[in-house]
Amino acid sequence: MSSKDPVRTLVLPLQGATAVLPQAGIAEIVSFSETEATERPQGEIEILGLIDWHQFSVPVIALESVVGRPFGEPGAKAKVAICNALDNSQQHPAIGIVLESVPRVLVVEDGRRLPAAQEKSEFALSSRHQGDLVWIPDMEKIGHSVNQQLALD
């Protein structure tokens, strides 16, 4: 892929924030109601529970906790984006991210990229798109951290 090829991303609506991930990194969008709340050791990332997905137990996280934003009870339209964790341990090869609603496609054309980082956290950086702050999560770091937290269980 050349630097001028369009990049298909998904804009993920969070509570009081927005995240963007490459569409190829998201396997499926499912209903949050399928999430089974479980007691899990809490660490740097808030794990809300697990969801059964294609014979895998997928941890579901509040991405807001990664970027220092508050997270409340998911609403009636809440969804879960099943994302590739990119963590080589493969204990949990996918991570679920709670969404406020269905994500939308954003195609970044002609090599145009989001501007340089505005804010950074350990697990994500932010940029501006059409004046709005958007978070770009580091799914490899998130996957590694979640897998470490669950290994303590």
For residue 81, give both structure tokens. 């984006």
Beta-strand relationship, 56-61 and 132-137: unpaired
| pTM for the full predicted model | 0.85
Q: How does pLDDT run along the chain (153 residues), one tens digit per residue?
A: 555 677 788 999 999 888 999 999 999 999 988 777 766 656 778 888 889 898 888 999 999 888 888 888 888 899 999 998 776 666 788 999 999 999 999 887 755 555 555 566 777 877 777 777 788 888 888 888 888 888 876
Q: Are 41 and 48 in contact (CB under 8 A)?
A: no
